[in-house]
C-alpha cells in the first residue's frame, strides 16, 4: 500500500525519488516545489481543523516559524494588498483556462 502511494506521489510530481545507497539499493523521497506548495495547503487545513475540531486537549501539532521562533498558524492573505482573505470577500470569475 505504501509503495503504491509513493509511486502515485512521484508520478504526480509531489515527491522525487532519489537513491542514497546502491548496496543495498535504498531510496529517499523528497518534496518537490509542487509538494512544498501542497504542504502550504495542508497547513491551512490544519489551522481550520485546530479551530473547529481540536477539542479540549488542544491541537495535536503546533507550527513554529523557523525565522522568528514563535508558534503560529497559517492564514490566507491577498497577494496584492496583504489583507486576510475570506470566501465572503472574494468574487470568482472565469479565467483564461475556462471552457467557452
Q: Are β-strands 15-22 and 71-72 bridged in parallel, bridged antiparallel, or unpaired?
A: unpaired
The 8-class DSSP code of residue 88 comes to G
Whether residue 55 sits in one domain with residue 24: no
Whether residue 42 sits in one domain with residue 7: no
Whether residue 40 sits in one domain with residue 80: yes
Whether residue 44 sits in one domain with residue 24: no
> Does residue 99 form part of some domain?
no
Name beta bridge partners: 15. Answer: 31
pLDDT in tens, 19-34: 999 999 999 999 999 9
> Does residue 96 form part of some domain?
no
How much is the pLDDT for 100?
74
pLDDT at 95 over 80: yes
Whether residue 65 sits in one domain with residue 51: yes
13: preceding bond cis by omega (within 30 degrees): no
Tell me which residue range forms the domain holding 23. 1-31
Cβ-in-10-Å burial (0-12, 13-18, 19+) of 15 comes to buried
Average pLDDT, the chain: 95
Contact between 64 and 74 (Cβ < 8 Å): no
* Straight-line distance from the first to the last Cα atom of the chain, in angstroms, rounded to the nearest whole number: 40
> Does residue 92 form part of some domain?
no
pLDDT in tens, 43-63: 999 999 999 999 999 999 999
Q: Which of 89, 69, 73 is nearest to 81 (CA)?
A: 89
Whether residue 58 sits in one domain with residue 24: no
> Does residue 93 form part of some domain?
no
Share of the chain above pLDDT 70, in %: 100
Whether residue 54 sits in one domain with residue 19: no
Amino acid at each position: 500500500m505504501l509503495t503504491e502511494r509513493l509511486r502515485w506521489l512521484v508520478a504526480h510530481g509531489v515527491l522525487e525519488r532519489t537513491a542514497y545507497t546502491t548496496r543495498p539499493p535504498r531510496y529517499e523521497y523528497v518534496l518537490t516545489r509542487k509538494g512544498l506548495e501542497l504542504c502550504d495547503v495542508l497547513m491551512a487545513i490544519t489551522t481550520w481543523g485546530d479551530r473547529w475540531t481540536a477539542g479540549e486537549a488542544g491541537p495535536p501539532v503546533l507550527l513554529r516559524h523557523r525565522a522568528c521562533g514563535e508558534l503560529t498558524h497559517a492564514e490566507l492573505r491577498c497577494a496584492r494588498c496583504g489583507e486576510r482573505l475570506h470566501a465572503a470577500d472574494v468574487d470568482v470569475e472565469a479565467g483564461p483556462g475556462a471552457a467557452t
